[in-house]
Amino acid sequence: MGFDRDADQDGRWIDAGRFDDFSPGQMRTLDIGRIKILIANVEGEPLAVADTCTHEDASLATGSLKGDKVKCPLHGSRFCLRTGRPLDDPAEIDLECFPARLKDQRVQVFVPNKNP
Ligand code: FES
């Protein structure tokens, strides 16, 4: 998605661990307090979205990943990890997306200040 901003007053890059530690097709979560973020390794590219399904309270990281889409374990809605858009009912609301990048073999996620 072309996100590559430096840390500034708008937010900060948070370290999410060594990229080598999770293989393609794997998901993990990063708990930053108010929000839990799902990070997926999609064919060598880190993608990050809010972990909680927008339909009900389910952790998407416990669902399944296929390409750049994650499927909710509760009612089966799939979400695009690039846009956050739900692709199936019953979810109708987009997931929040977070810029993610690799730096020195580590995954970093940009968290806006509104998500301290
Ligand atoms: S909780 Fe995710 S689709 Fe219902």
**Whole-prediction pTM value?**
0.89
Tell me whether residue 92 is in a domain.
yes
* CB-ligand 1 contact for 74 (6 Å cutoff): yes
**CATH number for the domain that contains residue 99:** 2.102.10.10
> How long a stretch of residues is the chain?
116
Q: What's the pLDDT at 24?
A: 86
Identify the residue whose C-alpha is closest to ligand 1 atom 1.
56
94, 86, 51: which is closest to 69 by C-alpha? 86
Identify the residue whose C-alpha is closest to ligand 1 atom 4.
75
Residue range of the domain that includes 40: 11-112
Tell me whether residue 4 is in a domain.
no
* CB-ligand 1 contact for 84 (6 Å cutoff): no
Q: What's the pLDDT at 23?
A: 84
* CB-ligand 1 contact for 54 (6 Å cutoff): no
Q: Average pLDDT of each block of 10 consecutive residues along the chain (116 residues)?
A: 51 92 89 93 95 98 97 98 98 97 95 73
Looking up tokens 């909710």, which residue turns up? Answer: 72
Tell me whether residue 59 is in a domain.
yes
- Number of neighbouring beta carbons within 10 Å of residue 55: 18
Q: State how many domains the chain has.
A: 1
